Structure 1
Amino acid sequence: MSTNDLDLVISDLTRIKKEYVEQRSAFVPGEHMAGLLKGLGATDADLAQLQRVSDDLPDDPTLPFRKSKNGRFHFDVKNGTVDRGEFQPFVLSAGEDFVRHDSGQTREFAEVGDDLQLNRAFQGLLLFKAFMVQDVEIAHRPKLDYDYPGWVCTLFNLRTVTTPELVGEPALEGVHSDGVDHTMTTLLGSENMTADSAITFLHDMRQINAVRWDEVDPELVVGRHQHRHFLDTMLVVDHERKHSLSPVVAADPQQASTRDMLIFFTRKPALEGHISHPHDSLVCHSSLPMSAGLLPPARV
């Protein structure tokens, strides 16, 4: 990539970041995101492979309508790299605005592999996320280390499945936050899904947790987006906007419907006393190494 090409990408990213800072959320259409990722070095083959990466996901540990893998990445701002972190269990609590039957339960997910983390389009999404969150002033969550310059990014590769016997709920928990500082969601694809499926609603923080998407206070809805096309991407400041989603509905009710996503949960490292502190290593992964250079910081 030439310096001039990178400058054009950085300029475009800076415009998106300005919107994110001002609105506390942003939505990037997939076609626009594809152009950005190609500007960061992704090829058409990378993009095609990314659309297939969810096909071998194993069953989720707690949700019967979901298949999942995850992995941890460290945005090492001091050294200018994003690095794959070692395996850690995962936990979200009701105290972090996540109220579900498995709140507070320590879960272990299968790990994402090289088929995802070495894909240059995926690495571009990591660089995009790191660029967007750095130096953005946000409401602080308790017991996170806001003096630390870098970030922990927990990545989920998820497939939500609706069958004739089971409704797939991208957010079974109803209105919630993700217990982090910044959430980013990217669509990889869908099959047999109605045009009004999986709509994301953004809510004022006064909205009560665990309320279904269709039972919320309409006066507290502050935005709505829908991931319909490959690479459609939403960013939200997680401790300033709650969110909920409508279910995945099958266009042909006799056949399965699927929705494949990448979810990037990004926050500062946990301090002692935080529920995730025992599971918050910044050590690099020994058997699944990956490292890429971060982009230069924005001037917003």
Structure 2
Amino acid sequence: MSDGLVGDPTLPFRKSRNGRFCLDPVARQARRLEFQPFVLSKEEDFVRHDSGELRVFDEVRDDLQLNTAFQALLAFKLLLIEGVETARRPLLDYRSTDWICTLFNLRTVTEAGLLGEPALEGVHSDGVDHTMTTLLGSTNMTEDSAVTYLHDMREANAGRWHETDPELLLGSVRHHRFLDTLLVVDHERKHSVSPVVAADPGRPSTRDMLIFFTRRPAGPGHVSHQHDSLRPHTGLPMSVDLPSPVTEPTHGGAECHVH
């Protein structure tokens, strides 16, 4: 599916598509929402040359949204985040039970004269409640490429991953295998990512990811308030039932522990 990605609106080393979904824990349903432009601001701890700029991405298509592994990832994320109290962001509507999930399918490319940066903005947050990142695959990438570093919220925005205060570094992790997934509470931890480095400098290197930005609906005064419709997508409709959380222990089956 990542072979069908197209040029990114602001980054020359990236190919992209995005789409918006509503995770509805009352109806137990995920559904595709209509297209809206995308914006992240400096006030949301995202400092880059395109901060505050409305960006228009090509849309994800049925080959992704109807894929059952992708739909399972939507369900997985909702089951992990619902009912968990986290630090709240200003100007989001926490009275709502709905979650707005903006999904990005991204390919970061390193080739001659072009270094692929999964997070050109350096240390940042994504302006949401939860950021989930899932690896689809990579080609010709060194084993120490694309390491995600987690930082205390006191860390200064926009610093490079290797220039940060070691006292505020809380950990690091690297996606290795298909569907390796990281979930970050976005208003409690900042993060940065090191570049994609080609193992063979004579050939391009790629890293394909799914990024799930999930937050409550934007309220009045929020930079995304005018671009946060809950109307369904008429051209690319999708809805899928979501499982209910298990509240009672099961017997006779395998146990699952989440740490």
1:253 match: 201
1:146 match: 94
**Equivalent of 2:21, from 73, 78, 91?**
73
* Aligned positions of 1:156-171 closer than 5 A: 156-171=104-119
Instruction: Kindly state the Cα deviation for residue 219 of structure 1 after the two structures are TM-superposed.
Output: 0.9
Partner Cα separation in structure 1 for residue 204 and residue 25 of structure 2: 43
Matched, 1:89 2:89: no
Instruction: Kindly state the Cα deviation for residue 297 of structure 1 after the two structures are TM-superposed.
Output: 2.3
Partner Cα separation in structure 2 for residue 205 and residue 192 of structure 1: 33
Letter in 1 for 2:33: G
What is the DSSP-based 3-state SS (H/G/I as helix, E as strand, rest coil) of the residue aligned with 1:124? helix
Instruction: Kindly state the Cα deviation for residue 295 of structure 1 after the two structures are TM-superposed.
Output: 1.4
Contact 1:155 1:264 in 2 (8 A): yes
What is the DSSP-based 3-state SS (H/G/I as helix, E as strand, rest coil) of the residue aligned with 1:286? coil
Partner Cα separation in structure 2 for residue 278 and residue 270 of structure 1: 8
Instruction: Kindly state the Cα deviation for residue 121 of structure 1 after the two structures are TM-superposed.
Output: 0.5
Instruction: Kindly state the Cα deviation for residue 183 of structure 1 after the two structures are TM-superposed.
Output: 0.4
Contact 1:131 1:298 in 2 (8 A): no
Instruction: Kindly state the Cα deviation for residue 73 of structure 1 after the two structures are TM-superposed.
Output: 0.3
**Equivalent of 2:46, from 98, 109, 112?**
98
Instruction: Kindly state the Cα deviation for residue 56 of structure 1 after the two structures are TM-superposed.
Output: 1.2
Instruction: Kindly state the Cα deviation for residue 77 of structure 1 after the two structures are TM-superposed.
Output: 1.7
Deviations 1:114-158 (A, max 9, x none): 000000000000110111111110000000001111100000000
Letter in 1 for 2:25: V
Matched, 1:196 2:144: yes
> What TM-score do you get using the length of structure 2 for normalisation?
0.94
Partner Cα separation in structure 2 for residue 91 and residue 136 of structure 1: 26
Partner Cα separation in structure 1 for residue 91 and residue 246 of structure 2: 27
2:227 match: 279
1:208 match: 156
* Aligned positions of 1:3-82 closer than 5 A: 53-82=1-30
Letter in 1 for 2:125: S
Instruction: Kindly state the Cα deviation for residue 78 of structure 1 after the two structures are TM-superposed.
Output: 2.1
Partner Cα separation in structure 1 for residue 245 and residue 70 of structure 2: 19
What is the DSSP-based 3-state SS (H/G/I as helix, E as strand, rest coil) of the residue aligned with 1:207? coil
Contact 1:184 1:235 in 2 (8 A): yes
**Equivalent of 2:184, from 230, 233, 236?**
236
Instruction: Kindly state the Cα deviation for residue 298 of structure 1 after the two structures are TM-superposed.
Output: 4.7
**Equivalent of 1:134, from 45, 58, 82?**
82
What is the DSSP-based 3-state SS (H/G/I as helix, E as strand, rest coil) of the residue aligned with 2:71? helix
What is the DSSP-based 3-state SS (H/G/I as helix, E as strand, rest coil) of the residue aligned with 1:126? helix
Q: Which has the higher helix share?
A: 1
* Aligned positions of 1:258-269 closer than 5 A: 258-269=206-217
Identity %: 68
What is the DSSP-based 3-state SS (H/G/I as helix, E as strand, rest coil) of the residue aligned with 1:155? strand
Q: 1:268 to 1:168 in 2, by over 3 A?
A: same
Provide the alpha-carbon RMSD of the alignment.
Answer: 0.9
What is the DSSP-based 3-state SS (H/G/I as helix, E as strand, rest coil) of the residue aligned with 2:6? coil
> What TM-score do you get using the length of structure 1 for normalisation?
0.82
Structure 1 portions without partners, runs of 5+: 1-52
Instruction: Kindly state the Cα deviation for residue 192 of structure 1 after the two structures are TM-superposed.
Output: 0.3
- The total of aligned residue pairs comes to 248
2:68 match: 120
Letter in 1 for 2:58: A
Contact 1:201 1:225 in 2 (8 A): yes
Contact 1:73 1:153 in 2 (8 A): yes
Deviations 1:136-187 (A, max 9, x none): 1000000000111110000000000000110000000000000000000000
Matched, 1:108 2:56: yes
Runs of 4 or more off by more than 6 Å in structure 1? Answer: none
Partner Cα separation in structure 2 for residue 129 and residue 248 of structure 1: 26
Partner Cα separation in structure 1 for residue 147 and residue 82 of structure 2: 28
What is the DSSP-based 3-state SS (H/G/I as helix, E as strand, rest coil) of the residue aligned with 2:70? helix
Structure 2 portions without partners, runs of 5+: 248-257
1:43 match: none
